[in-house]
Amino acid sequence: MNSPSDLSRRRFIGRACAAVGATGMLSALAQLRMIGALAADSSPADYKALVCLFLYGGNDSNNLLVPVDNTSYPLYAADRTVLALPQATLLPIAPKAYSDGRSWGLHPSLVEVQQLFGQGSLALLANTGTLVQPVTLAQYNAGTVALPPQLFSHANQQVQWQSSVPDQPYSTGWGGRLADIVNALNANPKISMSVSVAGQNSFQVGNTVSQFAVNPTGAVVLQGTGTSGIAGVRTTAQQNILNLQEQNLFEAAFAGTTSGAITDSQLLNTILAASPKLTTVFPSTSIGSQMQMVARMIGAAPQLGLTRQVFFASLGGFDLHSDQLAAHASLFTQLSQALSAFSAATTELGLQNQVTTFTASDFSRTFNTNGTNNGTAGSDHGWGSHHLIMGGAVKGGDIYGQVPLLELGGPQDTGRGRWIPTTSVDEYAATLATWFGVSASNLPVVLPNIGRFATANLGFMG
């Protein structure tokens, strides 16, 4: 006769297996559909990498892209007041096709970004943000359409940007769902195709593919372990414990996961140590070191058995409620230099056409200032923001989407210059996912809300 504890244990295991089975079945069906779609199109053998660079805190993109013509600039300067950048310092750009009667310049710290734009290796996507569905200012004011919950909240908007499903409780990120489907192209992966150089994140959480976190110097290893002396004894003891045949489900799972992580870390560090060193010099900043490690991981992809990789990197410090001008200039310098070095590294690797880097951020900032705080000006949380997309496959040298009127009280202004996005995160992500190899039939698996918006392809990828 079974005891109550035995029955409870069996019910738990049965439910757990059923849940895993259902999730696995959905993933398997999606992957089979992916393989079938690729087979019909003659399966590509080339490598591709997608790199998400998240700007934590809410980047003030109103000072990333600035009107420079003598009609529009005075309006910008009047509304931004102490946050306005001097007209003479702005770096002019000449978009290939985008035209709305205004001329444009970049923040003076984005010297390398200006060069990449001029070379056709980088594009800008204007006024993009989280949306449940398209919304006009009249609908926003009347409250007649659904809006992303907790607008202007850092934590919520970061998760919504990284999940692209603002109207549902968070479960997975769009990068994780992308990896779940595309992982079928990695015939013999030795580590996960999802790698973060900036710690755990919501973007890469998937159902079947787990994110693998590394630091800028390589895979994370357990402290105090090694091959000689007391470290060697400790390592042997630890491995003996992990190799025990555990009867408890959770202890067995923990042991298996830990052993796998140790093995993967050792393998990755061995491969990275044997890989040719890049000659490209990266800046000695946090984001520079992160992008250097991404480049090294891309260079090691053949040894890792990977033809598709998704990366996550980040730069923080953009929540500038005070002292914005000086801090923003420093952050943009770091960003610009890191992007330039990474572009050079992918060229050195011969993979510049197969690696696409894109920025994301919580939101932009208010167009007007929040006044002064201890004598220094800042801004508050906004909504729609401009973003950078870089790579050889990008149709660079142009602006995509629609830049707002950039006037307080304009047609996209919900108040204080918080622009309603005219492009959704879904459309942004769908364009990148399509380039990465996701078929049109599988886009709703990666981006469940894409059907609510005007297009699944914004045209910025070749």
Q: What pLDDT does 229 receive?
A: 73
Q: What pLDDT does 259 receive?
A: 66
State the pairing for strand pair 218-219/212-215: antiparallel
Same domain flag for 39 and 84: no
Query: pLDDT category, 9, cuts 50, 70, 90?
Result: very low
Half-sphere exposure of 129 (CA within 13 A, CB side): 32
Rounded mean pLDDT, 16-37: 38
Same domain flag for 4 and 103: no
Does a structural domain hold residue 460? no
Q: What pLDDT does 42 receive?
A: 32
Q: How many Å apart are CA 271 and CA 453, to the nearest integer?
A: 43
Rounded mean pLDDT, 5-14: 38
Same domain flag for 16 and 163: no
Same domain flag for 303 and 248: yes
Same domain flag for 193 and 316: yes
Same domain flag for 115 and 8: no
How many structural domains is the chain composed of? 2
Q: How many Å apart are CA 72 and CA 452, to the nearest integer?
A: 33
pLDDT in tens, 354-388: 999 999 999 999 999 998 655 679 999 999 999 99
Same domain flag for 51 and 39: no
Rounded mean pLDDT, 157-175: 97
Does a structural domain hold residue 458? no
Same domain flag for 9 and 130: no
Does a structural domain hold residue 120? yes
313 φ, ψ (degrees, to nearest 5): -130, 165
Same domain flag for 5 and 89: no
**Residue 194 confidence (pLDDT) above 80:** yes
**Residue 2 confidence (pLDDT) above 70:** no
Query: pLDDT category, 242, cuts 50, 70, 90?
Result: low
Does a structural domain hold residue 127? yes
Rounded mean pLDDT, 124-150: 98
Same domain flag for 144 and 252: yes
pLDDT in tens, 245-273: 777 777 767 766 666 667 778 899 999 99
Query: pLDDT category, 103, cuts 50, 70, 90?
Result: very high
Does a structural domain hold residue 80? yes
Does a structural domain hold residue 457? no
- Cα separation values, 234 from 243, 254, 258, Å: 14, 19, 15
Domain extent at residue 172: 47-452
> Closest Cα to residue 101, out of 70, 146, 61?
70
Same domain flag for 34 and 56: no
**Residue 21 confidence (pLDDT) above 70:** no
Does a structural domain hold residue 462? no
Same domain flag for 39 and 57: no
Does a structural domain hold residue 384? yes
Largest pairwise CA distance in the chain: 88
